[in-house]
Amino acid sequence: MPRVQTVPHPIPHPTAVLFGLSGCLVDFGARTRHDGADCTRHALPTPGAEQALLSLQLQGIPCAWLEELPPRQSQALAASLPDWITASPRTPSVGQWPAPDACWQALMTLNIDRLDGCVLVSGEPRLLQSGLNAGLWTIGLASCGSLCGLAPNEWHALSQQERELKRGKATLQLFGLGVHSVIDHLGELDTCLSDIGLRRRKGEKP
Protein backbone atom coordinates (compact mmCIF):
# COMPACT_ATOMS: atom_id res chain seq x y z
CA MET A 1 0.00 0.00 0.00
CA PRO A 2 1.26 3.50 -0.71
CA ARG A 3 2.48 5.38 2.32
CA VAL A 4 0.12 8.15 3.38
CA GLN A 5 1.99 11.34 4.04
CA THR A 6 0.66 13.47 6.84
CA VAL A 7 0.95 17.22 6.55
CA PRO A 8 1.81 18.80 9.90
CA HIS A 9 -0.57 21.40 11.17
CA PRO A 10 0.84 24.93 10.96
CA ILE A 11 2.05 26.54 14.15
CA PRO A 12 -0.84 28.67 15.42
CA HIS A 13 -0.27 32.38 15.81
CA PRO A 14 -1.14 34.04 19.11
CA THR A 15 -4.71 35.25 19.32
CA ALA A 16 -3.54 38.46 21.03
CA VAL A 17 -0.48 39.65 22.92
CA LEU A 18 -0.68 41.84 26.01
CA PHE A 19 2.41 43.66 27.27
CA GLY A 20 3.34 45.31 30.50
CA LEU A 21 4.38 48.90 29.87
CA SER A 22 7.00 49.80 32.48
CA GLY A 23 9.84 47.27 32.60
CA CYS A 24 8.68 45.59 29.41
CA LEU A 25 7.99 47.80 26.38
CA VAL A 26 9.66 50.86 27.90
CA ASP A 27 11.46 51.89 31.09
CA PHE A 28 14.23 49.29 31.34
CA GLY A 29 14.40 48.21 34.98
CA ALA A 30 10.93 49.61 35.79
CA ARG A 31 12.57 52.62 37.44
CA THR A 32 9.46 54.83 37.26
CA ARG A 33 7.51 52.34 39.37
CA HIS A 34 10.05 52.29 42.18
CA ASP A 35 11.66 55.71 42.41
CA GLY A 36 8.94 57.99 41.03
CA ALA A 37 11.38 59.47 38.55
CA ASP A 38 10.44 61.76 35.70
CA CYS A 39 8.61 59.53 33.21
CA THR A 40 10.07 61.21 30.16
CA ARG A 41 13.55 59.96 31.13
CA HIS A 42 12.31 56.37 31.10
CA ALA A 43 10.10 56.40 28.01
CA LEU A 44 12.70 54.81 25.74
CA PRO A 45 11.78 51.38 24.30
CA THR A 46 13.56 48.41 25.85
CA PRO A 47 15.87 46.21 23.72
CA GLY A 48 13.90 44.46 20.98
CA ALA A 49 10.60 46.19 21.77
CA GLU A 50 10.23 48.08 18.49
CA GLN A 51 11.14 45.03 16.38
CA ALA A 52 8.76 42.80 18.39
CA LEU A 53 5.85 45.18 17.88
CA LEU A 54 6.59 45.54 14.17
CA SER A 55 6.65 41.77 13.76
CA LEU A 56 3.28 41.40 15.50
CA GLN A 57 1.78 44.22 13.44
CA LEU A 58 2.93 42.61 10.18
CA GLN A 59 1.26 39.36 11.27
CA GLY A 60 -1.96 41.19 12.15
CA ILE A 61 -1.85 40.09 15.80
CA PRO A 62 -3.76 42.46 18.13
CA CYS A 63 -1.70 43.97 20.94
CA ALA A 64 -2.27 46.15 23.99
CA TRP A 65 -0.22 47.40 26.91
CA LEU A 66 -1.25 47.41 30.58
CA GLU A 67 -0.02 49.62 33.39
CA GLU A 68 -1.12 50.35 36.94
CA LEU A 69 0.68 53.69 37.22
CA PRO A 70 -1.62 56.73 37.06
CA PRO A 71 -2.88 57.43 33.51
CA ARG A 72 -0.79 60.60 33.09
CA GLN A 73 2.42 58.73 33.91
CA SER A 74 1.39 55.79 31.76
CA GLN A 75 0.72 57.97 28.72
CA ALA A 76 4.04 59.78 29.18
CA LEU A 77 5.87 56.44 29.29
CA ALA A 78 4.04 55.21 26.19
CA ALA A 79 4.84 58.32 24.13
CA SER A 80 7.55 56.55 22.13
CA LEU A 81 5.37 53.55 21.19
CA PRO A 82 3.54 53.27 17.85
CA ASP A 83 0.03 54.70 17.76
CA TRP A 84 -1.57 51.42 16.68
CA ILE A 85 -0.90 49.53 19.92
CA THR A 86 -3.96 49.76 22.18
CA ALA A 87 -3.58 51.45 25.57
CA SER A 88 -5.18 49.83 28.59
CA PRO A 89 -4.17 51.97 31.59
CA ARG A 90 -5.48 51.49 35.09
CA THR A 91 -9.09 52.47 35.72
CA PRO A 92 -10.95 52.60 39.05
CA SER A 93 -13.42 49.96 37.88
CA VAL A 94 -10.74 47.32 37.27
CA GLY A 95 -9.33 45.26 40.13
CA GLN A 96 -5.70 45.83 41.08
CA TRP A 97 -3.03 43.31 40.12
CA PRO A 98 -2.82 40.35 40.66
CA ALA A 99 -6.60 40.21 40.06
CA PRO A 100 -7.31 38.99 36.50
CA ASP A 101 -9.68 41.85 35.65
CA ALA A 102 -7.08 44.07 33.94
CA CYS A 103 -6.10 41.33 31.48
CA TRP A 104 -9.71 40.51 30.64
CA GLN A 105 -10.50 44.22 30.22
CA ALA A 106 -7.56 44.66 27.83
CA LEU A 107 -8.70 41.69 25.75
CA MET A 108 -12.25 43.03 25.61
CA THR A 109 -10.86 46.37 24.43
CA LEU A 110 -9.20 44.46 21.57
CA ASN A 111 -12.53 42.72 20.82
CA ILE A 112 -11.00 39.31 21.58
CA ASP A 113 -13.75 36.77 22.24
CA ARG A 114 -11.68 33.84 23.54
CA LEU A 115 -8.76 33.21 25.90
CA ASP A 116 -7.25 30.46 23.75
CA GLY A 117 -3.91 31.62 22.38
CA CYS A 118 -3.78 34.90 24.34
CA VAL A 119 -0.35 35.76 25.74
CA LEU A 120 0.87 38.19 28.39
CA VAL A 121 4.48 39.43 28.38
CA SER A 122 5.84 41.34 31.38
CA GLY A 123 8.77 41.82 33.72
CA GLU A 124 6.46 42.58 36.66
CA PRO A 125 5.59 39.55 38.84
CA ARG A 126 2.25 40.95 39.96
CA LEU A 127 1.08 41.51 36.39
CA LEU A 128 2.29 38.05 35.40
CA GLN A 129 0.26 36.63 38.28
CA SER A 130 -2.74 38.51 36.88
CA GLY A 131 -2.14 36.82 33.55
CA LEU A 132 -1.93 33.41 35.20
CA ASN A 133 -5.11 34.12 37.14
CA ALA A 134 -6.80 35.16 33.89
CA GLY A 135 -5.89 31.91 32.13
CA LEU A 136 -3.32 33.36 29.70
CA TRP A 137 0.00 32.08 28.47
CA THR A 138 2.67 34.11 30.27
CA ILE A 139 6.20 35.13 29.30
CA GLY A 140 8.44 36.70 31.93
CA LEU A 141 11.27 39.11 31.17
CA ALA A 142 14.36 38.50 33.27
CA SER A 143 16.69 41.44 32.73
CA CYS A 144 14.58 44.52 31.98
CA GLY A 145 11.81 44.15 34.58
CA SER A 146 11.49 45.04 38.23
CA LEU A 147 13.24 41.93 39.57
CA CYS A 148 16.63 43.20 38.38
CA GLY A 149 15.44 46.79 38.72
CA LEU A 150 18.49 48.46 37.21
CA ALA A 151 18.53 51.39 34.82
CA PRO A 152 20.29 50.68 31.49
CA ASN A 153 23.52 52.42 32.49
CA GLU A 154 23.59 50.50 35.80
CA TRP A 155 22.95 47.21 34.00
CA HIS A 156 25.72 47.76 31.46
CA ALA A 157 28.13 48.83 34.21
CA LEU A 158 27.93 45.33 35.71
CA SER A 159 30.40 42.66 34.74
CA GLN A 160 29.18 39.79 32.59
CA GLN A 161 29.23 37.51 35.63
CA GLU A 162 27.20 39.97 37.70
CA ARG A 163 24.61 40.28 34.94
CA GLU A 164 24.34 36.49 34.65
CA LEU A 165 23.82 36.16 38.40
CA LYS A 166 21.05 38.75 38.46
CA ARG A 167 19.46 37.33 35.31
CA GLY A 168 19.58 33.82 36.73
CA LYS A 169 18.02 34.86 40.03
CA ALA A 170 15.21 36.71 38.24
CA THR A 171 14.61 33.71 35.97
CA LEU A 172 14.24 31.38 38.96
CA GLN A 173 11.80 33.79 40.62
CA LEU A 174 9.69 34.01 37.45
CA PHE A 175 9.55 30.25 36.94
CA GLY A 176 8.76 29.92 40.65
CA LEU A 177 5.76 32.14 40.03
CA GLY A 178 4.53 29.65 37.44
CA VAL A 179 5.11 31.52 34.17
CA HIS A 180 5.24 29.39 31.03
CA SER A 181 8.44 30.86 29.54
CA VAL A 182 11.19 33.28 30.50
CA ILE A 183 13.27 35.34 28.07
CA ASP A 184 15.91 37.98 28.65
CA HIS A 185 14.27 40.78 26.65
CA LEU A 186 11.81 41.36 23.81
CA GLY A 187 14.41 40.65 21.15
CA GLU A 188 13.75 36.97 21.92
CA LEU A 189 9.96 37.21 21.73
CA ASP A 190 9.39 35.82 18.22
CA THR A 191 11.19 32.57 19.06
CA CYS A 192 9.33 32.27 22.35
CA LEU A 193 5.92 32.81 20.73
CA SER A 194 6.76 30.11 18.17
CA ASP A 195 7.61 27.74 21.02
CA ILE A 196 4.26 28.47 22.68
CA GLY A 197 2.59 27.84 19.32
CA LEU A 198 4.23 24.41 19.17
CA ARG A 199 3.05 23.65 22.70
CA ARG A 200 -0.48 24.69 21.74
CA ARG A 201 -0.36 22.50 18.64
CA LYS A 202 0.49 19.53 20.87
CA GLY A 203 -2.61 20.28 22.93
CA GLU A 204 -0.96 21.97 25.91
CA LYS A 205 -3.06 24.50 27.79
CA PRO A 206 -1.87 27.37 30.00
Note the pLDDT tens digit of each residue in 58-87.
Answer: 999 999 999 998 888 899 999 999 999 999
User: Among residues 22, 35, 50, which one has the least CA distance to residue 124?
Assistant: 22
Low-confidence ranges of the chain (pLDDT < 70): 1-8, 34-38
* Structure confidence at residue 3 (pLDDT): 57
d(CA 178, CA 90): 24
Extended strands (E) in the chain = 16-20, 63-67, 86-89, 118-122, 137-141, 181-183
In whole angstroms, what is the distance from residue 34 CA to residue 69 CA? 11
Domains of the chain (ranges; CATH) run 16-201 (3.40.50.1000)
CB atoms within 10 A of CB 4: 5
Beta strands in 63-127 (DSSP E): 63-67, 86-89, 118-122
Question: Which amino acid does the sequence have at 165?
Answer: L
